[in-house]
Structure 1
Amino acid sequence: MDTKIKLAINWAGACGGCDVSILDLAEKLLDVVELADIVYWPVALDFKRSDLIRMEPHSIDIGLFNGAVRTSEQLEDALLLRERCKIMVAFGSCASFGGIPGLANCFTSEEILRTVYQDTASTNNPQQIQPTPSVEVNGKMLTLPEFFPAVQALNQVVDVDYFLPGCPPPFERVLDLVTLVKNYREGANLPPAGTTLALDKALCFECPRQQRMSQQLSIPEIHRPHEIFIDPDKCFLEQGLICMGPATRGGCGFTCIQANMPCRGCFGPVQDMFDQGAEAISAIGSLLGDNDDYKPQQLIPKIARDLKDPLGTFYRFTLAQAILSRKVIDT
């Protein structure tokens, strides 16, 4: 088949690392160019939003959407791309689960704007002006995107066909996406809609340290990584370091673990997990204490003190899709 597929790439509420991960393909980018014509990628090529608006529904074969949805502009982009793409891919942790931007759901939009435009030490704003969706200046109406009350993942606003997690997606998983593009072009069978392009097992199953883990694993106390010398051959949990591996999908190539740092959970929950953070708390909580002398009345207060950032630890990437996903003010 000589006809290339049409590929679109869009950047929403994210840091830009997902776009860089595509560039990290290096010479493999030539494989992408051979398979697909990139018809929309405004961060890297000279495309405008008006170009996307002019495209017909279903005229794009595959769309990659990276970033969470926090503003009206990002929602419009998601709706536009979904209408024009036959296949929609949530690319990266922010699109897949809300990602680190989702931690902003701990605060109301009013609190965020007040902090940024009034309360920070470096802010000089005596009139306490905050951005608004529209304002008239010299007889002309200027507009900004609306700042929504909460961060949402892509599948919370549009239907998503495939998920490619990671912060950012690692080289090997991006190659899986290239294979999907190739299979689509050749008319081969594709994975079922809703598939995550990663392993269906927890990271612990492929962790190189799991074979050296103690039979009776216990966590007598909690440490932060800078507080101890981390044994590069020993399970992080056995060393009192919170590792999200038991509740995180594998397939990342355990890059963090190879750098002697515990998993932070960027690949999101294992299939059929209802809430990644709750699952991790349950799994790790069951290991707390010395098996020979477990005194929860003494241990739990100490653990609570030692665990400095529970929300950022257990919901770093998935708060937007958690059971309790945002701060709500009862009015």
Structure 2
Amino acid sequence: MAVEVKVFQFNGCNKCFTESILLKLDSEDKVTYIENPKGWKEEKTDIAVITGYLLPEDGKILESITKNSKKVIGYGDCVTMGGIFALANQNGHKITPLKEFIDNASSINGCLGEIMELNQEIKGKSPVKLKGLCTVCKRKSTCDYMEAVHRQIEFEESDVCFNDLGYQCNGFVAQECKERCIDYDAPCRGCKPMVARSGIRMLGMFGTLMGNIEVATEHSVKGATDKLADEDDDITRSVPDVLGNFFRFTLPTSGLPQGRIPSTGSVLEDVFTGRLIEELPLIAGLLAGNKSISLVLNILEAYETGTKMEVGSCTKKIRKHLRKLEGDLGKATESQDAQQYKEITEKIRKIAGNMNLSNLFFGGFRSKITEYDNFDEYKAHPFDVVEGSYAHGCVEYKIDSDGKVTDFKIKEEAL
């Protein structure tokens, strides 16, 4: 039986909002899109789908939506758990999960949210039972203690589990998902957790695997017997951004207190500040909606140009094609042409790996685009961290000697 569905876009990235255009394919449901919930004239509906992150001041609108809907569904991490934007809560922001406004709302986690799951929830069907991500990963774990922790500024071709090699991967606590960053040599950051407080659980598991790594334990002048994190040691130097890597999507549901770091005044800029240079393309691919390709490439090209990193002609050609596809995607979403949107996103996925653009990296791409390519023509490569300021297009940022972002500016009107 056909139902009436209203999709509401609140704050931040519109990627899940635009993905819901696919609801129009092979469906008799009447789907309406509300890009400005504050200007919405109250109307009854069967299903209300909420996308984008939420703030306390959105409570009244959500109350009105609930009153006029038979069922409310949160679609995507930003609305269900706070998502990537909630990293700004370290700076005093109050990005809030939907359940704190509507306790009986349904939740579809994921960044990006999966359209098949949304369709099933709308139809009232039982959700498909998802496997743990590790069970579908091509890499295999030994569960041995690691000898060192590594950052993703270096690569190691292997079929061994990222964690065993010393690269933190949150697949231990995640469910399988459509985006599958792990298929493109990008460790999982846990957008689809399979346990509560997944960041805490992953931190404990990764800490256990670090059992062989030396830590500082000498007593302090105050008589303490454990100086872990009081002084730098091999662990703290290797994991310089615990918040951004372990709690990337789940900070408001983690149980951690609200942060007190001074805000830049911009949620988006606060998200990037404190992150690691090698994580910037992965983060940018998550939060700029239809402009994600431009943002990722501007971040990459800023650093490549500033450090005189060699970028091959093949890489430049592929990137140029991606920018064109981004323009086509914008036209498809503006016209709400579901078939065209599907075709264009399939082309983007073929090159970028997924709609989070996990295959894009400094100097090139993480994995082969097609089987018979000469991968050396566009392969990403290890790079050195160079302290400095970098700018290109709509972005400008500074990193310190550890490769941590100390300042990030973005022309949000360009997104």
TM-score (norm 2): 0.55
Partner of 2:59 in structure 1?
A: 75
Partner of 1:178 in structure 2?
A: 119
Shift in Å, 1:321: 1.2
SS in 2 for 1:225: coil
Shift in Å, 1:160: 3.8
Shift in Å, 1:280: 0.7
Partner of 1:159 in structure 2?
A: 103
Specify which of 215, 223, 236 is matched with residue 150 of structure 2. Answer: 223
The answer to whether residue 246 in structure 2 is matched with residue 246 in structure 1 is no
CA distance in 1, matches of 2:88, 2:120: 35
Partner of 2:141 in structure 1?
A: 213
Partner of 2:18 in structure 1?
A: 20
Q: Structure 1: which amino acid aligns with 2:20?
A: I
Deviates more, 1:304-313 or 1:79-88: 79-88
CA distance in 2, matches of 1:325, 1:6: 39
Seq. identity, %? 26
CA distance in 1, matches of 2:52, 2:92: 20
Q: 1:158 to 1:276 in 2, by over 3 A?
A: same
Partner of 2:407 in structure 1?
A: none
Q: 1:66 to 1:198 in 2, by over 3 A?
A: farther
Partner of 1:29 in structure 2?
A: 24
Number of residue pairs the alignment of both structures matches: 248
CA distance in 1, matches of 2:98, 2:33: 18
Q: How does 1:194-209 map to 2 (within 5 A)?
A: 197=127, 199=129, 201-209=131-139
Cα pair 2:10 2:50 within 8 Å, conserved: yes
Shift in Å, 1:201: 4.8
Partner of 1:235 in structure 2?
A: 161
Partner of 1:126 in structure 2?
A: none
CA distance in 1, matches of 2:128, 2:257: 24
The answer to whether residue 47 in structure 2 is matched with residue 62 in structure 1 is yes
Partner of 1:146 in structure 2?
A: none
CA distance in 2, matches of 1:201, 1:325: 31
CA distance in 1, matches of 2:16, 2:110: 9
CA distance in 2, matches of 1:244, 1:199: 20
CA distance in 2, matches of 1:208, 1:240: 17
Question: Which structure has the higher relative contact order (CA within 8 Å, separation 6+)?
Answer: 1
CA distance in 2, matches of 1:287, 1:261: 20
Partner of 1:308 in structure 2?
A: 240
Cα pair 2:8 2:49 within 8 Å, conserved: yes
Shift in Å, 1:233: 2.1
Q: How does 1:37-116 map to 2 (within 5 A)?
A: 37-38=30-31, 40-43=32-35, 49-53=38-42, 55=43, 59-70=44-55, 72=57, 74-108=58-92
The answer to whether residue 196 in structure 2 is matched with residue 264 in structure 1 is no
Cα pair 2:162 2:169 within 8 Å, conserved: yes
Q: Structure 2: which amino acid aligns with 1:235?
A: C
Q: Structure 2: which amino acid aligns with 1:66?
A: T
Cα pair 2:75 2:118 within 8 Å, conserved: no
Q: Structure 2: which amino acid aligns with 1:15?
A: C
Cα pair 1:107 1:327 within 8 Å, conserved: yes
CA distance in 2, matches of 1:165, 1:198: 13
What is the root-mean-square deviation in Å for CA atoms of aligned residues? Answer: 2.6
Shift in Å, 1:251: 2.9
Structure 2, gaps ≥5 residues long: 218-227, 262-415
Cα pair 2:11 2:54 within 8 Å, conserved: yes
Partner of 1:276 in structure 2?
A: 198
CA distance in 1, matches of 2:166, 2:30: 49
CA distance in 1, matches of 2:4, 2:241: 43
Cα pair 1:69 1:153 within 8 Å, conserved: yes
CA distance in 2, matches of 1:76, 1:327: 26
Cα pair 2:6 2:34 within 8 Å, conserved: no
Shift in Å, 1:288: 0.8
Cα pair 1:97 1:317 within 8 Å, conserved: yes
CA distance in 2, matches of 1:77, 1:231: 50
Structure 1 ranges of 4+ moved more than 6 A: none
Q: 1:51 to 1:95 in 2, by over 3 A?
A: closer
